[in-house]
Every structure is written in structure tokens, then in C-alpha cells.
Amino acid sequence: APAFRSSTTTLEYTASYLPVTALTPKDIGNPVPHTDDLTNGKFTLSNATQAELTVDIEEAHNTPALIAQWVADQYGIIVGEIDMPAYTVGLYYSNEVSGRQILDELCDGLGAYWYIDQLGELIVRQRSIPTVAEITLFDDDIADGQIALSDTQPPWSSLTLRWGRNYAALRQVAGVIEDDEPNEAARLKREWSESKATQSLQDYPLAEEVVRDTCISNATDAETERDRLLLQRSVRRDIYTIEAFMPVVEVAQAISVEHPRMAGKIGSVISVSRSPTNGTTELGVWV
């Protein structure tokens, strides 16, 4: 990441406005002597750099759950549920940012979603494919003619998951790094690392080749998430909109719809809109 000079009398730089656990300033990729002020996210160089200064930042909120909890704490929101993998992740912002932006960026590359429930609590979950229904919706539970296919999502023939974002890519790297650590030198020059996989989908000639950005920080976690997402999109996915007479249902519940259009398929509830005046609930179901 970039570092910003914060003193006119010393070689003090600010790397983070949050407390951090480690700072590694580098001159075109080569670590340089310095003194840390981790509580204030600052460091002071022992000597002026000769070329381009960047800094590697380690901060305590480095998993999806810890980031989501931090956002909730900043807004004084109670957490209802956080069901996310224990990946190592990182987000960096050089300007003011909202909690919504942070949660959106956290979830977008992890096949996840977030919302504030009717109790005002924060819910953050990865989307999954259910195999056993928690709720069964029958034909006579559905308002007359009120079931429709609202979206179709083609399967993916390949997925390139971009991870390990470098927020201060270098044009030039120190010669000692180029000679001794060529892989690290290459990483320092590029903005993203990539993890790509393909799958054969002969029944789907219009399958898509997809590229996704993610906040994941290491290769192992990126491969795990890449394979999980690719498996989810090995078939076509559909979204149905249904207006039903039914009791309370929650987002993420597994639902089976016994209707000719869905033929008992099991899907996941992705949206709920209740109408107390007419006693119906509009559902979005992803199958």
C-alpha cells in the first residue's frame, strides 16, 4: 500500500488510521530500517528512501467475520449472524468509506450477501446450494398465477478469481529482489494475483468465462473459494418470484416448491417482502 508523510520535521509516515499489528515499509520492494508506532498506524524511517516507498500493512481484522463485526461495532449494530469462511482477507481504502461499501466489497468476491433484518441486526452469509428443504410450498399456497421466472444465470465454463490485490504496484523493483526473489518481484509489479480453473460443460454452449475480484489475501484460500463458486455454477441457475400465502419465512432458508413450473426443486430464499394488508409474502427463490 502507499504511505503518506505525516511530519515535516521527521521521516514519519502514516500507513493506516487504525491500529495495526505490523508495518513493513519498502523502497522499491526492499525492506528498510524503521521504527514502528503500531497503535497509530505510523512508522518513522531511519533514512530517506532512494526511490518509491510502499508499505505492507497487517491489521487485526483480517477475516470476513472480523471485518463484518468491526463494521457493526462502528455503527452500533447488533450482529444477528455471521456465517463466513475463515479466509485471510484484506481491504484498503485511501479515502472515506461507508460501512455499506465495505460489506459490499467483502461479500461480492466471496459469493456472499448481507442485510439488516427486521430486528435491526446485521446478517452476513455465504450463499450455498441447499439439498434438504426446510419449507415446502404447495401449489395452493401460491396466489393465482403469481409465480414467474424472473432471471436466468448461465453456468460458468471458467472462473478467474483475482486475489491478493497490490494497492501500490511498482514500475521498478530493487535488483536484489529481482535476482533473489523473482516471484516476489513479479507480484510487486502487478495489481492482482489470479487463480483460474475451468470445467467442461458440453450441455451449455453459452456457458460464461467469468472474472471476479475478491479481498482474499492468499493462494490457498483463493483456490478453495474459486472451486466452491465454480461448482455452484456448474449448471444453470434460475431465480423465481413467488407471491405466496404462508407464515414467516427468512432469507437463506431452503425451500421446495411443489408447482408445475418448479417441479419440487429445492432452492434458497434470497429475498422476502411481506404485505400485511393482503396476507401475502413475495419471495425470491434461487435454484
Sequence spans of domains, the chain:
4-58, 64-126, 135-153+236-286, 156-232
Whole-Å CA distances, 86 to 9, 32, 75, 77:
42, 32, 23, 22
Sheet order of strands, 112-116 included: 79-83, 122-126, 112-116
For the segment 192-222, what is each residue's pLDDT rounded down to a tens digit? Answer: 999 999 999 999 999 999 999 999 999 999 9
Whole-Å CA distances, 60 to 19, 57, 66, 169, 286:
8, 10, 8, 23, 35
Chosen CATH of 64-126 out of 1.10.1740, 3.30.930, 2.30.30, 3.55.50: 3.55.50
Residue 118's pLDDT is 87
| The residue to which cell 470445467 is assigned | 199
Residue 247 has pLDDT above 80, yes or no: no
Average pLDDT, the chain: 96
Residue 275's pLDDT is 84
Task: Determine the longest span between alpha carbons in the chain, in angstroms.
Answer: 77
For the entire predicted model, the pTM comes to 0.91
Residue 69: phi and psi, rounded to 5, are -65, -40
Q: Quote the cell numbers at residue 4.
A: 503518506
For the segment 86-104, what is each residue's pLDDT rounded down to a tens digit? Answer: 999 999 999 999 999 999 9
Residue 255's pLDDT is 96
H or E element that contains 255: strand 254-258
Q: Would you say the C-alpha torsion 155, 159, 165, 171 has a positive or negative sign?
A: negative
Q: How many CA atoms lie within 13 A of 197 on its CB side?
A: 14
For the segment 156-203, what is each residue's pLDDT rounded down to a tens digit? Answer: 999 999 999 999 999 999 999 999 999 999 999 999 999 999 999 999
Report, as an integer, the average pLDDT of 273-285: 88
Cα–Cα distance for residue pair 109/229, rounded to 1 Å: 10
